[in-house]
Amino acid sequence: MRSEIRCKTLRDSGELHLPRYKTAMGQSTFQYAAGKEWNDLPKELCACKTLGLFKIRTFKLFNRIRQDATHM
């Protein structure tokens, strides 16, 4: 029951809750690292309602980053 409520709250806010770890070992856990990566994504990616839209926007973002890197 608690996890259902927690998931709903997290999805409504758009960001994942990161557990509070005081050590580098705690911050190297998958749960922390994956949540941090998700929260660091551009908001346009996090707001996607479908997997297809997420894939399209991610592909465009990576292409833009690659073009910027080659034109430096």
Please state the domain count of the chain.
2
State how far the Cα of 2 lies from the Cα of 54, in Å rounded to an integer. 28
End-to-end CA distance of the chain: 51
Q: What is the pLDDT of residues 8-66, one digit of tens each?
A: 444 556 788 888 888 888 888 888 888 999 999 999 998 999 999 999 999 999 999 99
In a shared domain, residues 29 and 56 = no
State how far the Cα of 24 lies from the Cα of 33, in Å rounded to an integer. 11
Q: What is the pLDDT of residue 49?
A: 92
Structural element, H or E, at residue 20: none
In a shared domain, residues 36 and 11 = yes
Question: Is the pLDDT confidence value at 6 over 80?
Answer: no
Nearest to 38 by CA among 63, 65, 67, 58: 58
Q: Which domain, by its residues, includes 10?
A: 1-40
In a shared domain, residues 46 and 35 = no
State how far the Cα of 17 lies from the Cα of 29, in Å rounded to an integer. 14
In a shared domain, residues 34 and 53 = no
